[in-house]
Amino acid sequence: MFSPDLISEARIGCGLGIMSKKRLLETLAELLASDHPRLHTEVVFERLLERERLGSTGLGHGIALPHARVKEVTNVLGAFVQLTCGVDYDAADGEPVDLAFALLVPEAANEEHLRLLAHLASLFSDPSIRTGLREADSAAAILRLLNT
């Protein structure tokens, strides 16, 4: 189960009609910055984009885990987006991405960051979780599934 500080309904986008990887990252940046006083959408977007330039964070099976280190946060912060159709994301399996969980981590959060990424990758490897996230019709339903 995730901490309410990590992800909340306010940072979940459900049934969004986004058509590009860039717009997906912008939306995740907006969600991440929306309720954090020291974060600005443009800075978060740039950090996520910088990480993507190192290699795609598309895991496969329509899932992406964009993440970045930022000095403005002291605790890990997450946002999730469910899309109505997948976008080209340069994922390893070539499949379009329609589910994305973004993370911002403090600059020094090596161990916690890696553990959380591993937990999310494991969660999203479950076909029933992926199906449930795709079929969910509200942020509350998505949050319940993420917390299983």
**pLDDT tens column, 51-80:** 999 999 999 999 999 999 999 888 899 999
Catalytic residues: 67
Mean pLDDT of the chain, nearest integer: 93
The reply to whether 1 falls in a domain is: no
**56 within a domain of the structure (yes/no):** yes
Q: Judging by beta carbons within 10 Å of its beta carbon (0-12, 13-18, 19+), is residue 86 exposed, middle or buried?
A: middle
φ, ψ (nearest 5 deg) of residue 89: -130, 5
| Counted domains in the chain | 1
In a domain, 66, yes or no: yes
Q: Show the domain range for 22.
A: 9-146
55 is a domain residue: yes
Domain contains 103: yes
In a domain, 3, yes or no: no
Considering only 36-40, 92-96, 134-138, which range has the smallest mean pLDDT?
36-40
pLDDT at 35 over 90: no
Is the sign of the CA dihedral 66, 9, 113, 34 positive or negative?
Answer: positive
CATH classification at residue 34: 3.40.930.10
Phi then psi for residue 105, to 5 deg, are -125, 150
Q: Examine residue 2 and state whether it is found in any structural domain, yes or no.
A: no
Question: Is 77 within 8 Å of 6 (Cβ atoms)?
Answer: yes
- Convert the pLDDT of each residue in 98-131 to its tens digit: 999 999 999 887 777 788 888 998 999 999 999 9
